[in-house]
Structures are given as C-alpha cells and as structure tokens.
Amino acid sequence: MAATFDGGVVLGADSRTSTGSYVANRATDKVTRLTERVYVCRSGSAADTQNIAAAVAWHLEQMAVERGGKEAGVLAAARMLSRITYQNKDALQAGLIVAGYDEADANAGPGSSSSTTSAGGNEGNNGGGGGVVYAVPLGGTMVRVPFAIGGSGSAYITGLCDKLWRPGMSADECVAFVRRAVAHAIARDGSSGGGIRTVCITKDGARREFVPGDEVPGTFGDLSDVPVGGTGRGAAAAGVAVT
C-alpha cells in the first residue's frame, strides 16, 4: 500500500511470498526502488513484477541520462508500468502501486486530476511538491489516488483504510497508519505475513524501516500467542483480557 501525507508519501508491505499454502520466502522486499524518490509496491506474480520493475527502473535511468541527470517524476514511472502491464495483460499477473515525491505535483485528494505534459515527469501545475500515488491494478489501468491498497490482504483492510486515512497527516502519523493497516492484513490474510517494510519518501530522499514479524502490532482476534487465562498481542491491542 501507499499513502500520501503533508510533504511526501509512505509505502508499506508485508514480507511473505507464498506458493499456495507454502511460504516460499518470509523476508521478501516488495517495495522496489525505481529512482531516488520513486518506488513501486508489488503484488501478484513475484516473477512478473520483479521483471517489470527492473525494466522500468532501467528505462528511467536512461531517461535521466538523456535529461542531463534530472530524474523522471512519478507520472512517467506510472505510465511506463501501466503501458507494459496493459499491453501484456493476458500474460502478466501484476498489481502495482507507484508512489514518490514530485517537486512539481502534489496529491490534492480523491478528486484531483493530473495534467499530462511530457513523459519526463515534472507533471501537474499545483505549484508545490509533495507525495503522489498512482494505482496500476491488474490489467494496466492507471488511477491517481491519495492512498492505494493492493494484494491479497487488501480486501481485509479496505474499510479500515477508508476510516483512518486523512489528508494533512505528518510523516510519523502516516507511517503509523501504514503499519497498522499492513499489520491488520497480516492478521487476517493467510497469504500475508512476516514483517512490515516501509519506505518514507520526502524531498530529502527515501528512508527505509523494517518491523520484524515478532514485533508486528497485534490485532483483535489474533490470539495465537495468548496463554490460557492470560493476555496476548491481540488482546492487549484491543484492551481486553482473554480467558
């Protein structure tokens, strides 16, 4: 998932890659760097999304060289990802969320629209920098949103995110929001798990953080570590005792 805040954007994801009921990797990095201030959050086929992200990162690097070292913006990255997934929609299983900091274009909310200028990326005319999020779900549609969720766990946290997200959050508040949402998805979805990786992107660059699996906040009903007659992570989080 990705969410904007006042001055940037936060991306977050769990770290589980599964093959059916088998956990193939419990420490996957699903948040991939495209440029210094643009990242993509991947869901779907690991092979498909890894190769798409690698190809787009290469193209964006070449674009920066052609532009004298000036990196492309979030819109340029989203267009590339959208074009690849749309043109190969019958062969790829890729749900992507592109987010980053753009000096010339900040998210204005659910009804905001994006000006379409050159593919170079200084898109928009809002006059101020900030966080930008584009959702590129299965099939290649590209939608600009203030926050986006995706992957198998997203169905469990749609209402939670609608309730908790608000414009004008600080960076710390946005990181806490993303961690809470991903932790809830981990508790509810069998295909989500492991730790929580977050990337906070501002005008100063990207800051990565990781919450190990044994430190992921508990969710009400997550009682796997509750001793008989005691309290556990899930119960403590909800402020109740479990017997």
pLDDT digits (tens, 9 = 90+) for 169-204: 999 999 999 999 999 999 999 999 999 999 999 999
The third-level CATH classification (topology) of the domain covering 2-211 is Glutamine Phosphoribosylpyrophosphate, subunit 1, domain 1 (3.60.20)
Q: How far apart are CA 196 and CA 51, in angstroms?
A: 22
> Of 189, 174, 209, 220, which Cα lies nearest the Cα of 1?
174
pLDDT at 132 > cutoff 70: yes
**Cα dist. 119→40, 76, 78 in Å?**
18, 5, 10
Q: How far apart are CA 156 and CA 224, in angstroms?
A: 19
pLDDT digits (tens, 9 = 90+) for 94-103: 999 999 999 8
DSSP H or E segment with residue 53: helix 46-66
Confidence band of 235 (pLDDT split at 50, 70, 90)? very low
More confidently predicted of 215 and 228: 215
Q: How far apart are CA 80 and CA 193, in angstroms?
A: 30
Q: How far apart are CA 145 and CA 131, in angstroms?
A: 11
- How is the chain split into domains, by residue range? 2-211, 218-243
Q: Among 14-23, 99-108, 145-154, 216-225, whose mean pLDDT is lowest? A: 216-225
What pLDDT does 124 receive?
40
What mean pLDDT comes out for the span 5-9? 95
Q: Sheet containing 130-136: which strands, arranged edge to edge?
A: 31-35, 38-44, 94-102, 130-136, 143-144
Q: How far apart are CA 219 and CA 215, in angstroms?
A: 12
- Residues 82, 83, 85, 86: is their CA dihedral positive or negative? positive
User: pTM for the complete prediction?
Assistant: 0.82
Count of Cβ atoms closer than 10 Å to residue 55 Cβ:
13
141: tokens are: 């549609």
pLDDT digits (tens, 9 = 90+) for 216-231: 988 876 655 544 444 4
What pLDDT does 218 receive?
80
pLDDT at 213 > cutoff 60: yes
Confidence band of 104 (pLDDT split at 50, 70, 90)? confident
